[in-house]
Amino acid sequence: MTETQYLQGFFYDLRIKKDLAELLLQGLNLMFNFALWLINGFTH
């Protein structure tokens, strides 16, 4: 494996991890907003 192939693989891996992390953050954000909505619904 050449150095460029290694770097390409590394950045490709990073990009996939970044996409997964963003999806996870979006999911957490949605759950957080949903929880706040539920709390507001019960307190009002």
Check residue 17 and give its pLDDT: 97
pLDDT for 2-43, tens place per residue? Answer: 999 999 999 999 999 999 999 999 999 999 999 999 999 988
> What pLDDT, on the 0 to 100 scale, is given for residue 43?
83
Is the pTM higher than 0.75? The answer reads no
* Pairwise CA distance, residues 34 & 27, whole Å: 10
DSSP code per residue over 1-44: --HHHHHHHHHHHHHHHHHHHHHHHHHHHHHHHHHHHHHHHHH-
